[in-house]
Chain A
């Protein structure tokens, strides 16, 4: 299938901060692609490189087969962007901003615009400085959704939206998918990603750590095991795929990679199992694992590296 976005080994540093460190990303035509990762992982930076706002240090980035830095203007006619930090002009009304951004990207469907204003319950007559955070977000969202762009690039589009508006947003994105548009959606909200995304990429410290459909990612999760054994649980901690082992006499508690489940269970049965409970894997755990690793194993994302 044709890729709308493909990024290979993208590197971007700000002084001594290496914000992107060999990022890979592929977004296929017509899919809703989730872009997930802890704070400071480099999501917004990657998006800005894709939009030609930042210049990559190395790596290849293609957008609709073109170079986002060189062909910025012509490529931008085919996409709509909602920034992570929406700031509006204090003296322009929300309605004016929607029309302005729509026009500058090459046109906007006024009927759709009015529909969206209604759906998101936005008062378009208020001045930029008087909008709340959520309402500023709505202005940018409406401007993007009312365009006829092939690709929507949304950087944490629902931050600040209330749950009702969040569900309006989700149904809008589903409409977009139905209309055959491609969406790149950066988010911290797992439920949102599960509800909307065909595929997701998880990044950490400027690198892609997982990428695939949600079903594929579920295979990467771990099962929690609580077991009461017949003897000392010697050597279990040394097995591959066992994590967070806690031993209390003959009781053990640990997590195991699904791929190693079979080997580990065999090891338990050789000791003798009196009782066993296991908890099915959840995506949330997978997420937290990636998010936590950022702090434990590798230190905070984007930390200074020797130049």
Chain B
């Protein structure tokens, strides 16, 4: 593996902005959550009371079990969303330095120099190792500094580091199997979502030892149980799995040809079908499988959430105290409505992710110089990007409708409310659309005015997600919370429909998009120089 060290340094150089940014920011998060819990609930008894009010099946389904009502325990419970983000970020980092490199032919350039065959892979895994060390280290130090139990904090840091390594290693294997970086990212993301859903299904039942949670990589990691009789052996098993996966990736890398995946591609048609022969047709061809993937995801998640909601309502019914607490929180809305609204809020962020992804596709087409031949033909810039923006704006809208319909079906069937639930829930899902459009419009604006920064769109989305999930806990002031478009949406179903913020968001989205489009029409096309 000659050259690993040089490649590792090259990778770090290429990532010198992004890598410190996400590892440090996300690594600091659990510590921040811990210190705000410490100031919100200085008295352990109060914290325990809060913990009790939060142990219900639907919240457990979303965040996982509360292992201990202590400061550390609550922190690890509430920050579990960060665990998912660091896992995904590491997976994407590994893919970026393996398959994406190879796809763009840079690997070939390096491969011809004195660089060993496995060096690229080893260097990418070293980056993952570094990222996991930073994230894990900061997590452990931050939570311990905020006053959480020291041993537990070490276990929590270890959990975060292992999440990075595990998904980095999974991505390394996936990157060997597929031929395109896009497919590799998609598969790794699906593994993560699958792991999350499995854990959700397992934990929602209330059984903390559900086999579903144990076979889910995320559920398994959470069963290290930081701050509550840490199970170090679980961490040991994960280390072993990571080593096995890395070895498998290494082996696959050694047996396949450069640029080939193990999943080979078949020959296709010698002539183009008529449907392909327009910018929209091309965009459809490039975006359709991703769109179908999202739609299937919405439908599955919808049905699942719908039926889980009913189970949660039943559980709360059996415990009048809990019903009281939640009733007070919701200000009159029924428990079912609150759970559905929370589910839809998460789906709304997902839909924004779908929109950002579709809009970024236009940028990646441009930087890969694939927009150039299209725009050198008789196709105007607006017409070209219009094809992609159609998917960026209406794909998530369609997705949210599908989510609403299936959530309605799931809930209506389980609760016996029947078809009436479908209309109510679908309408509530549609309320997310203006915030999604606003987020996508920011990406279009960046694309038009600051094209090199277009992928910051992901950062904007992550920022909105963290504001929504953790803003209240971090005791951020209202204006900070209001930065996220999602905070302006009426809480439906159950709450009152306020139209003004929705109209305002749509209008703002239209303005940002128009400015972005004008910018794009006036700027240079990327020429790869």
Contact = CB atoms under 8 A, between A and B. Distances in A.
Interface of A: 14, 19, 44-45, 48, 51-55, 72-74, 76-77, 81, 83, 85, 87-93, 95-101, 103-106, 123-127, 129-130, 140
A93 B268 contact: yes
A251 B268 CA distance: 69
- Tell me whether chain B's interface is mostly helix, strand or loop, or mixed: loop
A88 B103 CA distance: 12
A195 to B, nearest CB: 26
B399 to A, nearest CB: 22
A96 B370 contact: no
28 contacts: A44-B527, A45-B527, A53-B376, A53-B524, A54-B524, A54-B527, A73-B378, A83-B369, A83-B376, A85-B369, A89-B285, A89-B370, A90-B179, A92-B268, A93-B267, A93-B270, A96-B272, A100-B282, A104-B279, A105-B377, A123-B267, A124-B271, A125-B268, A126-B267, A129-B103, A129-B180, A129-B265, A130-B265
B483 to A, nearest CB: 32
B511 interface: no
Contact of B368 (A48, A52, A76, A87): A87
Interface string B373-392: 11111111000000000000
Contacts of B320: none
Given A45-B527, A53-B524, A87-B369, A76 B272 contact: no
A51 B272 contact: no
A83 B379 contact: no
Contact of A103 (B277, B376, B522, B523): B277
A105 B525 CA distance: 19
Interface in B215-267: 259, 265, 267
A77 B271 CA distance: 22
Contacts of B527: 44-45, 48, 53-54
Chain B interface size, under 10 / 10 to 19 / 20 to 34 / 35 or more = 35 or more
B331 interface: no
B18 interface: no
B21 interface: no
B462 interface: no
Nearest to B523: A55
10 tightest A-B contacts by CB?
A: A99-B272, A104-B377, A105-B377, A95-B270, A96-B272, A103-B277, A93-B268, A125-B267, A81-B376, A124-B270
B372 interface: yes
A85 B377 contact: no
B458 to A, nearest CB: 22
B377 A99 contact: no
A12 B285 CA distance: 35
Nearest to A77: B378
Instruction: Count chain A CB atoms within 10 A of each CB in B270, B278, B523, B524 and give the residue with the most.
Output: B270
Contacts of B369: 83, 85, 87
Contact of B285 (A45, A88, A91, A99): A91
A118 to B, nearest CB: 12
A108 to B, nearest CB: 10
Nearest to A97: B272
Contacts of B372: 48, 53, 83
Contacts of B376: 51, 53, 76, 81, 83
Contacts of B373: 81, 83, 101, 140
Nearest to B524: A54
Nearest to B281: A100
Given A73-B380, A74-B378, A125 B270 contact: yes
Instruction: Count chain A CB atoms within 10 A of each CB in B180, B279, B369, B377 and give the residue with the most.
Output: B377
Contacts of A51: 375-376
Contact of A100 (B276, B380, B523): B276
Nearest to B384: A104
B472 interface: no
Interface string B106-144: 000000000000000000000000000000000000000
A91 B282 CA distance: 11
Contacts of A14: 529
B272 A89 contact: no
A104 B370 contact: no
Contacts of A130: 265
Contacts of A93: 267-270
Contacts of A44: 527
